[in-house]
Amino acid sequence: MKSDIDYRNKLVLAPMVRVGTLPMRLLALEYGADLVYTEEIIDWKLLRAERHTNEVLGTIDYIDTTDGTVVFRTCPDEREKVVLQIGTASAERAVAVGQMMQNDVAAIDVNMGCPKDFSIKGGMGVALLYDLPRAKAILEGLVQGVRIPVTCKIRVMPDLDETVALAKELQSTGIRAIGVHGRTKTERPRDPVNEDAIARVANALHIPVIANGGSQSITRRHDILRFAQRCSTTSVMVARAAEWNCSVFRADGPLPLDDVIRRYLELSVRYDNSPSNTKYCVQMMLRSLQESPIGRRLLDSQTMQQICDIWEMGEYCRETQLRYHFAGIKGRRACRPRTQSGDGGPVAEGNEPTASKKQCLEESPDSDPEPLNEENVCFIRSNFIDDNSLPKSKLYLHAVRNGLPRAQYEVQQKDKLFRATIRFDGQRYTSSFWEKNKRYAEQAAALVCLLKRGVESRDELIRNGAMLPAKNGPAAAVVEQTGSSKTDAAGESETNGEARPMVESC
């Protein structure tokens, strides 16, 4: 039996890249949204992901097997209200995604409105509006192949009659609703939204139309409802206005921004969201305040601990991350490279990069005569005030002062991860933490070397988040006895500024 959603009279969190992750979706629901869309996720990213039940967080995680990143994370609180938006140019892949995900989401939406070059060149997004047979094949395949509702989101076209005709064709596939962004593919947020065009589409269809694009006129819930009236719809998708202050959905009016940020951070810590994604979302909330003292502190932050300290939530962050650590959560620190299973060949239509030759998880036997010293240490750039204080610089000075040869660095790359090994004074040093770029891998290995040689303090590395405390160490005892700790365990850092690496295991 197919499940059902009534798309009429709905206030919706629109799909937004890097914003529509679990903490923001839960925040929107808490403040009064009826449905929440994920950010657009490309079909092949989901197809190469593995589904995991995360018992520590109480979530379902889809993990990219090549680098341990969380492609999609959800929880029971949003199960009946979360809509997965996919980017696709293939009916076959779209149906495969739908069948894989239909037990974990309430509905599936196909992105037919993204105007970015990446989407268009891959035949996705707004390109589908100009390839109607393919667009209809994707929707028909999903409607027939999954048990949950299927929708799509489009942009208006320069010719309004053509827009209405297109929407009617898409409606004929059996979709349950259609989102309409009131700008063309060449128009941007600064351009006025065409409310009359949305109204023309809404009056021409018998399925619900969800109006989108009115954030310039929206600061509170009442404005959302007025936008719906002007567009002759009963439902509205809110993007940037919700990105700026998610409490825009509240019936009692929006909350002060600091209150919204603190609640967002609480959810981000609770669901182990990546620091880089959390930082990005808070930056979008601050907008012009990014140039303020608080904004500059946020810009300099790199770990969840550092972000939370700005809003006086450091203790909550420390306690929660230590509790998860001792409960056995597998984060980025536990990630080891592996490639996509299968034949490793290229995927049709150029949407997925060709996989490299298969690599296995097991390390090759270590036959090197020099001893290997290994610690789980990550490099956090914001811990170092200038280039002279960087681990590689400190190790170089250590060698000069002691009359030793300079360290030799060897970097290993697997999939999208890097790990360095240092040869120094007859021994080798490496971190078991795989970094996201070559430079950081070398710095992390240098930190291990400095630690082993007594130049760096283990307690200091734990304090600033580069290491996590041992489960049977002093920090564990403090948590067990008092439920809190003064030790900073925020070292699950993202190292290249991407949106979502950092959480569950490979």
φ, ψ for residue 167 (rounded to 5)? -60, -40
- For residue 102, what are the contacts with CB-CB under 8 A and spacing of at least 6? 108, 146, 147, 148
Sign of torsion, CA 293 295 301 307?
positive
Residues 408 and 496: their CA atoms lie apart, in Å, by 24
Helix (H) or strand (E) holding 226: helix 221-230
CA distance 429 to 431: 7
Token digits for 18? Answer: 């890097």
Instruction: Say which DSSP state 167 is in.
Output: H
Contact (Cβ atoms closer than 8 angstroms) between residue 86 and residue 41 = yes
User: How far, rounded to the nearest angstrom, does the alpha carbon of residue 235 sit from its chain's CA centroid?
Assistant: 26
Residue 493's identity, in one-letter code, is: S
User: What is d(CA 428, CA 422) in angstroms, rounded to the nearest whole number?
Assistant: 5
Instruction: List the catalytic residues.
Output: 114
From CA 127, how far away is CA 240, in angstroms rounded?
A: 23
Dihedral sign for Cα atoms in the order 308, 310, 315, 318 = positive
Q: Which two tokens stand for residue 498?
A: 């991407």
Compute and round to an integer the Cα radius of gyration of the chain.
25
Is there a contact between 322 and 269 (Cβ–Cβ < 8 Å)?
no
Determine the Cα–Cα distance for residues 154 and 205; give it in Å rounded to an integer.
Answer: 14
